[in-house]
Amino acid sequence: MTNETRKAAANKPALVVGVLLLIAAALVGYDASQQSITSTYGVGPTAVPYVTAMGLVILGLAHFVVAFREGLPEPEEADSKALLWIAGGLAFLIACIALGGGFIVAIAIVFACTARGMGRRAFIVDAVIGFVLGLVIFVVFAKLLTLILPSGPLERLFL
What is the DSSP annotation of 44-83? -TTHHHHHHHHHHHHHHHHHHHHHT-S-PPPPPPP-HHHH
Classify the C-alpha dihedral 100-109-145-36 as positive or negative: negative
Identify the pLDDT of residue 1. 47
Identify the pLDDT of residue 8. 55
* Long-range contacts of residues 89-97, Cβ cutoff 8 Å, at least 24 apart: 89/113, 89/114, 89/117, 96/152, 97/150
Cα distances from 29 to residues 32, 44, 137, 153, in angstroms, run: 5, 14, 27, 35
Structural contact between residues 129 and 111, judged by C-beta atoms closer than 8 angstroms: yes
pTM, whole model, 2 decimals?
Answer: 0.65
**Which pLDDT tens digits describe the chain residue by residue (159 residues)?**
444 444 557 888 889 999 999 999 999 999 988 887 766 666 777 788 999 999 999 999 999 998 888 777 777 888 999 999 999 999 999 999 999 999 999 999 999 999 999 999 999 999 999 999 999 999 888 888 888 888 888 888 877
Rounded Cα distance between 33 and 47, Å, is 10
